[in-house]
Amino acid sequence: MMKIAILGYGRMGKTIEQIALDRNHEIVYKTSEKINTEELQKAEVAIDFSIPDAAFENITTCFKNNIPVVSGTTGWLDRYEEAVKICNENKGAFIYASNFSLGVNLFFQLNENLAKLMSKFKEYTVAIEEIHHTKKLDKPSGTAITLSESILPYTQKEDWKLVEEDEKASANQIPVVAKREEDVKGTHSIKYSSAIDDIEIKHTAHSREGFALGAVIAAEWLSDKTGVFTMKDVLGL
């Protein structure tokens, strides 16, 4: 049994709470406000699913209070390296993932394997599409960014670019389309197109439980460790 702090008590935070309780853990602190460090210190591990503007402070406050932290908040990664530095300075423990779902992490591996295979066939061009619910604040999703960055090393592209559905990216960019629709948990597709045919892989989430379960499993794995890790470490991929 672990004592868990939940940082960001919205829909995902509440789902994480239920799964953690089902797995016999104790929730000792939950907040969507500025962290009360006295309350935070009751926890053995923290799970952050807050908002982009709060994530960096939440995460680094955990490091400074010797609390291992798992974060699934996206939209703050311009400060990721700074967070890693603070983690290492404080001998902390940290896992960030754009998506904690087991299925998505298998999809990440499938995406990378397909990118390696397709690198030999220059007649195909790659594009990414993601669809999420209308309350998701950041575009594109962190998952779409992870997918894009995993493809780049196997192409002649230099970067990815967020585009509208009918807009084209430049020749050295992977186009990423982000759509927002009511009550969509998360859909990601990668399409390789040529004049002759298309090859497409797709992941569709049916509920938030997969994300939440993965985050709790990551917290269980991280609780006695020091360092910076990924879901590949947790899942042995």
Residue-wise pLDDT tens digits, 60-77: 999 999 999 999 998 898
Q: What is the CATH number of the domain that holds 200?
A: 3.30.360.10
Q: What is the CATH number of the domain that holds 85?
A: 3.40.50.720
On whether both 93 and 171 belong to a single domain, the answer is no
What domain range includes position 183? 102-204
- For residues 13 and 41, give the distance between their C-alpha atoms in angstroms, rounded to a whole number: 19
On whether both 36 and 63 belong to a single domain, the answer is yes
Segment 157-171 mean pLDDT:
88
Stronger pLDDT, 110 or 223, i.e. the higher one: 110
On whether both 45 and 95 belong to a single domain, the answer is yes
Percentage of the chain exceeding pLDDT 90? 77
On whether both 75 and 35 belong to a single domain, the answer is yes
On whether both 184 and 216 belong to a single domain, the answer is no
Q: Is 132 a catalytic residue?
A: yes
Query: What does the mean pLDDT of the chain come to?
Result: 93
On whether both 228 and 141 belong to a single domain, the answer is no
Q: Please pick, among 25, 30, 132, 188, the residue that the annotation labels catalytic.
A: 132
Residue 47: strand pairing partners: 6, 70
Domains of the chain: total = 2
Q: Please pick, among 3, 136, 161, 191, the residue that the annotation labels catalytic.
A: 136
On whether both 171 and 194 belong to a single domain, the answer is yes
pLDDT above 90 (res 171): no
Decide: 184 and 207 in contact? Cβ < 8 Å.
Answer: no
Residue-wise pLDDT tens digits, 188-204: 999 999 999 999 999 99
pLDDT, position 237: 78
pLDDT above 90 (res 167): no
Q: Is 136 a catalytic residue?
A: yes
| Reported pTM | 0.77
On whether both 78 and 115 belong to a single domain, the answer is no
On whether both 149 and 228 belong to a single domain, the answer is no
On whether both 149 and 91 belong to a single domain, the answer is no
